[in-house]
Structure 1
């Protein structure tokens, strides 16, 4: 009996150790991330031409399960899994498996394997930037293309956190201590200034300037920049033109509706869209029906920020009689001849405008 009890105790302790070790391993592997843009494509494989399985909204949290080259394999809160380019996710800095590096020598050989005797397959120059996706002894693995990797020696690389890059798109933008308009201003950032993007929360980007000052910038006043293949990797809701269109349109909220007016203080629906797009360097035809003939048709399920959305005012048939600008999250901005009789933001997914929706066009 004593012998059986000792055996049972030994087995129990062994099982407990396995549980603790397993918990520890999985605890270390859990890495949280936040989407830095709207309509970010989650792909079936880590390639920009791979099938899109789902999309992320800006600020949506994810769990990073693994990485390959400069892609994260993620899992969303709804259970969707797939691959996202690392530039589009702000990861936990301490646990991020991907780092960035700057070459610190005049010429650096990139080798096929992590060995000084391995074949040289590429060379890098001083100040070249690289993405580090793996380490082995004193070597870093870097992607040279979507299908080709190489190795560089760690002695010749300055390693930095895996921050995405951002660019200021407003004049004299306030860098604030916190993510609210009431927060103290740290400094002013000039139009076109580049910054590091560290996180996103409640409509604000957490950023760091090149001289090391940290703070928050409102998402309408900056855009996140991405490395290669931006057009295939992230929707236009993350690019500068789309953000500028939304910014210019929102400046006109509350302006009065007047049939035939094209601004700057009164608008009809197509006069409003023509005015906003002209401010962003894009010429549109004058009427809603002719605007519905330009660009490329897109489905309602694939709407992106900056798309033109069209409606039939009486809710019958497909004749175009109203137009607005999609601004994301099921909303659009337009000059309304309804009860508000002004430039307003409305919901496209429910109610009147859901019933009267006809089509959408992407014109840039």
Structure 2
């Protein structure tokens, strides 16, 4: 789903020309205020998931958008010199624009996309029910549309329903309240339930300003909402690598030297599973929600989450587990590449440290690894 500037007119929400997919090389300069809407506001030095993590911005952070290219925004922190690249689905622009496109979702089970606005046109591609499209133009009863991959074509308007042109999200909890204002005492607009689709229009101190698929507007607590993050390299539950966790090395290195403390879960002290739990639930909360992962607190239980992988398959972001010569898992860390992992160690070299899997102690004690 594209992160874009919006303007509302009647029951049609419209989006700007910078929509992702309109050009695979569309780049231009601009300066507009925007808001981080994810708990995982990772700022990178490159416009891709392999870029080094510069900083992780908390939800609600205001930034200036300097440039747009494909699925990424180059932003600068307001009042500072720090700048970098933010992925499209974790940022929303605050200001309106006069350059507009509409959004729609396909309602037919299978819909032919044709080369011209007629059933005589050749079939360019086919779309399934629920597919989101950008509407470029209207010709008679046909919409000219464009897909995220840049493909253009025509579909009949009878099989397309207008949808809000804001970042897509889902509700996590039944009986969640949509209120008139960002306040628990504000009048109730309506109730929402688990998996209801909403569209995020803004953020205000713990509340999302949202629009429902029926264009009903209100505020809902951000803690009961998960963003729909359409990653360029998505993860499958079979264990393929996600680009989202490739920057975890930079994130975790900020805690090097923090002391070990049994039972501690940060941010100033950690035990081993407290460290992995804190990092993933703090910086990758939306990712875990999207994958429907409820990460347990103990190392033994964490080993039962995700997909088991072989030692020679390790990639950055995998969890590595050790039994220390016993029959039970007693330790966990986060693999950061180059045969190294970061963890909260006890004993002589206690605290958050980076160790090699080749060290005799960890080589002997290595038990398994999982990929979330």
Could you state the TM-score of these two structures normalised by the residue count of structure 1? 0.52
Q: Deviations over 1:126-167 (max 9, x none)?
A: 7564565999xx9766541xxxx3444699677755311212
1:215 matches 2:211 = no
Structure 1 unaligned residues grouped into runs of 5+: 1-27, 112-119, 250-271, 300-307, 320-355
CA separation of 1:240 and 1:179: change in aligned 2, threshold 3 A: farther
Give the 5 Å matches for 1:1-364: 29-77=30-78, 78-92=80-94, 94-95=96-97, 100-102=103-105, 106-109=111-114, 122-125=124-127, 129-130=131-132, 132=134, 142-144=147-149, 149-152=150-153, 161-228=164-231, 229=233, 231-233=242-244, 235-241=283-289, 273=298, 293-294=331-332, 296-297=334-335, 310=344, 317-318=348-349, 364=372
Distance change (3 Å), C-alpha of 1:33 and 1:133: farther
* Partner secondary structure for residue 285 of structure 2: helix
SS state at 2:194 partner: coil
Q: Structure 1 residue 89: deviation in Å?
A: 0.7
**Does structure 1 conserve the Cα–Cα contact (< 8 Å) formed by 2:306 and 2:371?**
no
Q: Distance in 2 between matches of 1:215 and 1:239?
A: 25
- Per-residue CA distance 1:109-130 (angstroms, 9 max, x = gap): 479xxxxxxxx99524375645
Offset of residue 34 of structure 1:
0.9
Residue 207 and residue 87 in structure 1: after superposition, are their counterparts in 2 closer, same or farther (change >3 A)? same
1:4-48 CA-to-partner distances (Å, cap 9, x unmatched) read xxxxxxxxxxxxxxxxxxxxxxxx943221111123333344333
Shift, 1:73, TM fit: 2.5
In the alignment, the residues of structure 1 paired with residue 100 and residue 58 of structure 2 have an alpha-carbon distance, to the nearest angstrom, of 23
Cα gap change, 1:275 to 1:179, in 2 (>3 Å): farther
- Post-superposition offset of 1:174: 1.6
1:296, distance to aligned residue in structure 2 (A): 2.4
8 Å CA contact 2:41, 2:58 repeated in 1: yes
Larger Rg belongs to: 1
Instruction: State the Cα distance separating 1:216 from its structure 2 match.
Output: 1.7
Contact persistence 1:297–1:362 (CA under 8 A): no
Contact 1:174 1:187 in 2 (8 A): yes
Equivalent residue of 2:332, what SS? Answer: coil
Secondary structure of 1:183's aligned partner: coil
Q: What is the CA-CA distance between 1:179 and the residue it aligns to?
A: 1.7
RMSD: 5.0
Q: How many Å separate the matches in 2 of 1:295 and 1:133?
A: 47
After TM superposition, the score normalised by the length of structure 2 is 0.51
CA distance in 2, matches of 1:225, 1:174: 20
CA contact (8 A) 2:174 2:192 kept: yes
CA contact (8 A) 1:195 1:207 kept: yes
The structure showing larger relative contact order (alpha-carbon pairs under 8 Å, at least 6 residues apart) is 2
Inter-partner Cα distance in structure 2 for 1:183 and 1:53: 39
Report Cα offsets for 1:278-298 as digits up to 9, x if no partner: 9x999x99x9x9766235257
Q: Secondary structure at the match of 2:223?
A: helix
